Structure 1
Amino acid sequence: MGAILEREAELGLRQELATAIAVLYGRGYAMGTGGNFSAVAQREPLRLWMAPSGVDKGSITADSLILVDEAGQSTVGKVSAEEPLHRAIALATGAGAVLHTHSVLGTVLSRAHVAAGYLRFEGYEMLKGLAGVTTHATTVDLPIWPNSQDMDTLAATVTPHLAQAPWGFLLAGHGLYAWGKTVWEARRHVEVWEFLLSVKYHQQSYGAG
């Protein structure tokens, strides 16, 4: 009975991740095989269910997810080059899922504000969609780091700051990383941040900062 329940829980997790990927793809956040997505399958040693690299994210199903071991390897499918960043986030924050999007506005705003190192959001009701935020009367800074093709170095750069990061950060010219205790919470955080990025872009377009 225990083994059956474990298999059912595993399938449920994979289906939840596949659904989240489909929703985010449908919103234009993972076009052209972009984006990468993971959910924690096991804590010790840390193993991740991930979407394989280089595939159309609109075609991902629960059965096409790959299991990545503690060494960052999988026996089937191509592991994303950004797996070290997913692993670092899961280890540093205790996240149950990490979702990385390539939206237009995340790309544009991250490049425009990388010198500042963050985007500031204050007074928005939508901030209450972030876990732990209970009032609109708050200020939240979304960190921005320069992009790099060396994911191990990038992971080492961002890891010391993850405990203070507000469930997400931007890589300049690349996109948003967001996470949560569950796949559903991580997806909600993506939706919140992408909404706020859109608000920020339109405000700046009207000269309202």
Structure 2
Amino acid sequence: MNDSESVTTQISTVEDWTLALAESTGSPGGGAGTGVMLAIAASLTSMVAGYTEGGHAELADLHGRSRALRETALHLADEDAAASKAFGAAFRLAPGPEREDAIHRASVDAAKASAVLGERAIEAIEDLGWLAENGNPALIADVVVAFGALRAAIAGARTNVSFDLSSLTSAGADLEKVREDHPHLWETVNRLSKALDRIDELTASVDGKAAPTTAGS
């Protein structure tokens, strides 16, 4: 099965889903890929939590959150794919008021879809940071891979929200008007930028645990 119309994260194999992603259709596209990266980060977080000993209530709660996030992220990936399809369709319309209205609606919907995904990714940062400090040290490489996947998810969400907001200018609005009309989405871009800095900080803090920095260390 390689028809992108029928591919979802829920029913497709990894082979089928990535094959659809490789097609020049845009649905699924980078936004949906962002959701899958978040699901990978959540899955690895869950795995490390499961391998970490201790009766901490915090650990049990963290494990539950990561398992739930994996499912949510995949649903969000499919929702983003649907939003991307509408986004592309709007730009293919003939010039005129109908096209401008369609671009506006599709841009806002796409930005909202990416913003939700980004917000969920932000929520996962400190759980992974806790595991970096307290998790099973034998799985530090998995923590680092999870940080990489989570960073990709946040970077993707940030770029998608920003791009979708800027697309509103194609419908006749200037950026100042966009910021006034969509303050939450605009602020989300800033929050995601700060989240990238936090992930970089946490990743750097465990680098020494993951690999020696000099020969013979």
Pairwise TM-score range, normalised by the shorter structure:
under 0.3
User: Larger relative contact order (C-alpha < 8 A, sep ≥ 6)?
Assistant: 2
Structure with a larger share of its residues in helix: 2
Structure with a larger share of its residues in strand: 1
Which has the higher Rg, Structure 1 or Structure 2?
A: 2
